[in-house]
Amino acid sequence: MNFQDLIYAKRDGGVLTEEQIRWFINAFTKDEIPNEQAGSFLMAVYFQGLSKQELNFWTDAMIKSGEKLDLSSVGKPTVDKHSTGGVGDKISLPLCPLVASFGAAVPQLSGRGLGISGGTLDKMESISGFNISLSNEQMIKQLKDVGVFITAAGVGLAPADRKMYAFRDVICTVECIPLIASSIMSKKIAEGTQSLVLDVKAGRGAFMKDVARAKQLAETMVEIGNKAGVKTVALITQMDTPLGNAVGNALEVSESIDVLNGKGPADVIEITLALAKEMLELAGIKKDPETALKDGSALSTWKKMIAAQGGNPDAEIPVANKKEKVLAPKSGYITDLDAYAIGLSAWRLGAGRSRKEDAVSKTAGIICLAKEGDFVEKDQPVLELHIDDESRVAMAKQDLDNAFSISAEPKEKRKIVLERIS
């Protein structure tokens, strides 16, 4: 195979054959292609895209670059959820045990945060002793015993994606819908789940800034999943304003536990229940998920999951040593709370990372003491910074200069779930 022929073909808008695509994925994974040629080819894909048939071959080749987890022995309907990420998006934490409490098996393979989007694994590591590295045997056992796990994907699952994701980040081809879709769906299909619900965020604090692009990504992923035999549904949800009140690893764990206790912010509860209903329907379970938040069964499943993965479900969640409040400059209604500004400030405080190898703070972050629609008095606290490194505060506060707006009249409440794609 002459790799230059593939570059020429895609550069000029040609359609690649199945053989060419499978050869590229295999050779790329094995480091048999020079970086400059691989980068040139992926940049051509970035600009020219992939046809539906090319994308199906591409995704399947990424899946087959490694092993596929066999969940057939679990004995329960398997259903998972994936979010494209956003500011304050801790939904996997209450959602997965909630769905599992009804008898579904939820194999949640998660990742770490990068930039302003927090990572589920970083949040879970705020819990004392929690182990985010399970073997395939441990995963299957835990699905049988508890019904849910939250862990990192093993190195054997879709290794082509692991290598390509890091490579795309370096060569600035991350924002390519076919490459995003194949990245997400290759991992989810390789984990062996029977059905999947996607939470595709749209807005300032999301990867996709506008709804049209988010819808295109959602439709692409739903089609890939269904063609691969995984029943797939997507919800497009807004991410112009932070989700919930807490932004930061330990802070979001605490808020998630509040939700499992039947409390917590209304928007977090709303989207948790909306996704849970979709997951239960795909799993063939005719139950109202709200009942498990009220009777404590979701919280019980959460505690069993924590204990099964080596954590202490009754341990105190760590908190920052210092807090500093941002006050309202005048009285009025909060009419805008910018998810990007809040996320960037929390990142400056240490809640996120700029490189994959960076450490993150467990306790740093921001609490939104007031949200859009709330009335505040002059000098009332609107935001609370949680600080574990005072050298980071000055820059973090600069990002908050225009993070919220106050007006004499309230603005119409934002819709959370914008569209459903199936």
Residues annotated catalytic, as ranges: 82, 161, 168, 183, 187
Neighbours of 72 (CB within 10 A): 9
Comparing CA positions, the residue from 219, 176, 224 lying closest to residue 43 is 176
The β-bridge relationship of strands 375-376 and 231-238 is: unpaired
Per-residue burial over 243-281, b if 16 or more Cβ lie within 10 Å, else e, is: bbbbbbbbbbbbbbbbbbeeebbebbbebbbbbbbbbbb
Comparing CA positions, the residue from 90, 105, 101, 107 lying closest to residue 151 is 107
Comparing CA positions, the residue from 96, 91, 8 lying closest to residue 44 is 8
CB 383 within 8 A of CB 242: no
CA distance 72 to 232: 19
421: which 2 tokens? 């794609």
CB 334 within 8 A of CB 405: yes
CA angle 392, 393, 398 (to 5 degrees): 110
